[in-house]
Amino acid sequence: MSSDLERRYRRVLRLLPGWYRQQWEQDMVAAFLDSWLTGDPEVDEAIIEFCKPGWAEVASVAGLAVRLHLGGPGTPRRYAWGHATRRAVLVVVLMHAVLAVDVLVFLVRSRRLIGWLPPSPASLVIAPGGVWVRMFYLVCIAWIAIFVTLALGHYRTARVLAALAIVPGLVALLQAQRTGFLPAPFGPWAFWVLIDLAPVLAMTTFRRDAPPAAPRRWLLALPAGYLVVYGPLLALQATGNSAWLPDFSGLCCILVSLACLAHAPRAWSRQTAATGLWSLTLALLAAVAGAYRIASLTGYLNDPHLITVSLAELLIVLAAVALVAPDAARAQTATPAPPPYSRAMAA
Amino acid sequence: MAAKPMTGQAFFVLTALADGPRHGYGIVGEVADLSQGRVKLKIGSLYGVLERLAAERLIEPDRDEAHDGRLRRYYRLTQDGRRALAEEAELRAATARVVRARLRLTGTQAAG
């Protein structure tokens, strides 16, 4: 039976998040009572009845509660954001790798390196030669290498390659800006900041102790991603419906929306930690796609039709992410994988 | 990648567990003794430290024991915890040697 002092202390402990109390409350209460009780029944009876946790004790619990609620190291919020950020980075790098595969396939087709592949449309073939063209192909190969190294867990190599891979893009942008070849600069700069720089910076979350990704699944995602993205696009081109082809920011919005729609039934029916982490990942990706869509709108200021289409894409991504948002919010407070001491006690 | 610096409280808690498992309040008492009364851990602070050390796999539970109708959980150092504590102790000893040497150089040794 709990004593008055214990009840008062448990009331203070309600400041702590539920997942934390589940793990530590009993132990904290035992240690707290140990710190008060003397072993003398008469004295202890008086202590139990009249004493209450001091201000310093309450302050220490409040401080711990603030740290845990804000998402300090080892908390579910920090764990969820770290996990979701790493997944979002993998998805963005996968997108880079898919684009790179497309460029290389295009190169193979235009040079007729594989006889049975149909040649690229002559109007789209990049003229061979030149430092920038060679650099462009090199960067494409680098993104495939970055994706593979990241998926295989060679984080440091991936970080170094990625930091090098975004430099030519920056130099090209600065050069274009300086020489006036950038009539609508927001779109290209948004691409560089959101799709190139941000994932490279976020790669710092891939620490040695980060839970590894499932390499086989991610590596299979590269050919699958190529087919999912370029299958429909090539079909639109082949059937003479090129007008339906979205621009890259629109494509990002459509892909994220489709992923949200595909994930929503699982997020609503299961609501596990795993679905929550994917929901949070999709919310992050939707934020990036939405920001990129808004920034690239400036390129269409003279075309009301394209502005309407772009706004529709934005609305679609907002509606799609709203479907998984509750699950994403829940993921931040869901109980994480049990810490090592739970397994030790169970053994 | 450089390891995160160990806080003073974590250092004392690990030291308190170096010679054997202890329960929560036992750690509080041992830390007070080790620090000659300078570090008086409140329960909230202690469990913040214990939770972080457990998450970093430097400590783990040893056993539960009933005492006056309550369960006391004992904690012990893991191999990683022992190694981290030894490294931190070495670092602090090296720093102390440098401090002493510099104080000797400037002739400002503590009295007594």
The answer on pLDDT for B13 being more than 80 is yes
Helix (H) or strand (E) holding B67: strand B59-67
DSSP letters of A127-173?
A: PS-SHHHHHHHHHHHHHHHHHHHHHTT-HHHHHHHHHHHTHHHHHHH
Among candidate residues A184, A183, A182, the one with its CA nearest the CA of residue A172: A182
Given a contact cutoff of 8 angstroms between Cβ atoms, the answer to whether A84 and A281 are in contact is yes
User: Is residue A72 left, alpha or beta, with left meaning phi > 0 and alpha meaning psi from -120 to 50?
Assistant: beta
Q: C-alpha angle A106/A111/A113, rounded to 5°?
A: 95
Residue A115 confidence class, pLDDT cut points 50, 70, 90: low
Summarised one tens digit per residue, pLDDT across range A291-311 is 999 998 888 878 888 889 999
Mean pLDDT computed over B73-94: 93
Summarised one tens digit per residue, pLDDT across range A79-98 is 788 888 999 999 999 999 99
Residue of A64, A156, A206 to mutate for B, most B C-beta atoms under 10 A = A64
DSSP B73: E
Summarised one tens digit per residue, pLDDT across range A181-206 is 777 778 889 999 999 999 999 998 88
Mean pLDDT computed over B95-110: 81
pTM for this prediction: 0.65
Residue whose token pair is 């190169």: A107
Helix (H) or strand (E) holding A312: helix A304-331
Asked if ipTM goes beyond 0.90, one says: no
Contact yes or no for B61 and A56 at CB 8 A:
no
Summarised one tens digit per residue, pLDDT across range B21-75 is 999 999 999 999 999 989 899 999 999 899 888 888 899 989 888 877 788 899 9
Q: Distance, in angstroms, between B75 CA and closest chain A CA? A: 9
Q: Distance, in angstroms, between A149 CA and closest chain B CA? A: 18
The answer on pLDDT for A9 being more than 80 is yes
Range picked from A51-60, A107-116, A230-239 for highest mean pLDDT: A51-60
